[in-house]
Structure 1
């Protein structure tokens, strides 16, 4: 409530009602639009969004931000992952800003220099078609996807060249090294695994019964479950001997020399607020709040919680370039 009052007071004092802010967004459009509408309803500020395509998730916007460095067109970058955001922060594309609404976010999700703030996370999950995979035989680990039990064309993942597929590959690289990361994808490719242009395409083929299992993001899996599709979502690599499930938070940054700096700060304040984390948790994407006391709001986590992948976010982001180079040599040569 204090956030709404604060924004309303600021709007009244500055006369920015009816003004606009430009946001570059790689979050799926159906998930982001209700959030933006809530912001506009509270402030009167119109958000002009530019969304990335599913087939070029995040990478397209990142390239555009780099191209516009000398003359920025965007005010805010709302990224569906964090690795590219961290990379752009190192390149000096963002303005330092520590939003007051993020003061209760754990420090591991806030840049000490103020260049980024992380919010609601998605999990990288296994999705299986329950008509095609018998109960008790479901894959439980990421490595199970390269098992000889699967015939060619029975396992699919989103392309590891962009989006959360690339972020996941970078996490594997950072945790286990290049050889182990490449070994997973080489084995998957050799076994006839499919590499599709986006998590939604993987989900849709599993829902349609075209293949039994795949690796996607939890928000895409939860859409299928909401529509009562014959699927089951599995958090991989749990238990005492598991390496943990990769959690990928959103990230929000203020663009350096933003054309609408005042409105940009207000949008950042809203996006990283506890109020918005609850909206993301209770919306269709059911994202996991990074604020521990809000995590029950998403309504789907097991009572014991999630054993998370142990690699620090900064290490994963640091491995992005090396893993991308190695994967391009594997898939594009």
Structure 2
């Protein structure tokens, strides 16, 4: 993907504003705490010959996909996987990859977002992907230097209790929180991790470019609305809204749609960052990303794994899974029950460079309500 998210594929041009479906301070994680997580076998050969995949995707979904890969390739490519926690998500594994850079243990990084992957690429942690794969992947959804590809996108959404809030009455712009106070409260996951971190980094970048001071005004508005930061990730945001602890929650499509399909009275909208008519002003997409670790001794298996996970069949499985993702590769016609035809365009490299500052600014402004 280019380091500016400046395009959306033409086959995404279907507008959807899905409003319903059926059916204090936190301790920073350490590299050691991530390293102690389970390295689980997914089939095939174990031990030193097994391909090692670090992934921050939902463990159930990732485990099933990697088992399918191991079963397809048989004894040639056994797989062992290291998973991350809901609260830490990609941040913990990215730091582990940095710590292991001189003696890498992982061969493939399968991330649940694009920000840490872009940072790792710029730091030289990732190798270039096969030219044949890059040639057959949409340019807007790959690194300009060919070190990673983006696929299986989720979206940032605003959730609410559908018994109490009508979708048409919910904020239609993220920036609405700068001007309107919501006394019933708002909940957000810890902004130092995961898609919440990336969303605020992108938001800060585009808002400060368009209207200096808007991001700070939004944080001030969120504080007036008694916004609380939750340590449990985006799923905890949905749960808090359902318990009546807040009127609105900032979350992702997968968490809210899973609750909807379980029969929970939750609804959501896809607020824009800028008004209708301003191209590239929609909500933010969060694709998963795939990269091969520089220096891997299992390059052939790593390439096979990336090709398998990015295949059209795998993207369809992801769309049908609990992740409810939007396929980004060529030729995939199946999609989830939501669409964003005009996703947010932002400078990914600039957002990554300022992510720490954005996370600290949000945390400092709102942590007192945790």
> Which of 226, 229, 253 is 2:264 aligned to?
229
Distance 1:274 1:65 in 2: 28
Q: 1:263-282: CA deviations, max 9, x gaps?
A: 22211111222222111112
Q: Which whole-Å CA distance do the structure 2 matches of 1:92 and 1:132 have between them? A: 49
SS state at 1:176 partner: helix
Q: 1:205 to 1:329 in 2, by over 3 A?
A: closer
Size of the aligned set, in residue pairs, is 314
Q: 1:54 to 1:75 in 2, by over 3 A?
A: same
- Gaps of at least 5 residues in structure 1 are 1-16
Matches of 1:139 and 1:81, distance apart in 2: 25
Deviations 1:166-202 (A, max 9, x none): 1011111221227433332232123211111210100
Q: For the residues of structure 1 that align with 2:81 and 2:147, how far apart are their CA atoms?
A: 20
Q: Which residue of 1 aligns with 2:203?
A: 172
Counterpart for residue 196 of structure 1: 230
Question: SS at 1:118's partner residue?
Answer: strand
Please, which moves more after superposition, 155-164 or 270-279? Answer: 270-279
Q: How does 1:1-333 map to 2 (within 5 A)?
A: 18=45, 20-44=50-74, 45-98=77-130, 100-134=132-166, 136-145=168-177, 148-151=180-183, 154-177=185-208, 179-197=213-231, 198-237=233-272, 239-240=276-277, 243-291=281-329, 293-294=331-332, 296-302=333-339, 305-327=340-362, 330=365
The root-mean-square deviation of aligned C-alpha atoms, in Å, is 2.5
Contact kept in structure 1, 2:159 and 2:256, CA below 8 Å: yes
| Structure 1 residues 147 and 224, CA gap change in structure 2 (3 angstroms) | farther
Q: Displacement of 1:87 after TM fit?
A: 0.8
How far has the Cα of 1:293 moved from its partner? 4.5
Per-residue CA deviations over 1:254-295 (Å, capped at 9, x if unaligned) read 11112432222211111222222111112121111113653x
How far the C-alpha of 1:228 sits from its partner, in A, is: 1.7
How far off its partner does 1:113 sit? 2.3
Distance in 2 (CA, whole Å) between partners of 1:313 and 1:143 is 20
Deviations 1:144-179 (A, max 9, x none): 445645225x21111211111110111112212274
Q: CA distance change for structure 1 residues 189 and 259 in 2, over 3 Å: closer, same or farther?
A: farther
Residues 281-313 of structure 1: CA deviation (Å, up to 9, x unaligned): 12121111113653x5223125xx522112243
Task: Assess, with a 3 A threshold, how the Cα gap between structure 1 residues 62 and 308 changes in structure 2: closer, same or farther.
Answer: same
Gaps (5+ residues) in structure 2?
A: 1-43
Q: 1:8: which partner in 2?
A: none
Whether the aligned pair in 1 keeps the contact of 2:312 and 2:331 (CA below 8 Å) is no
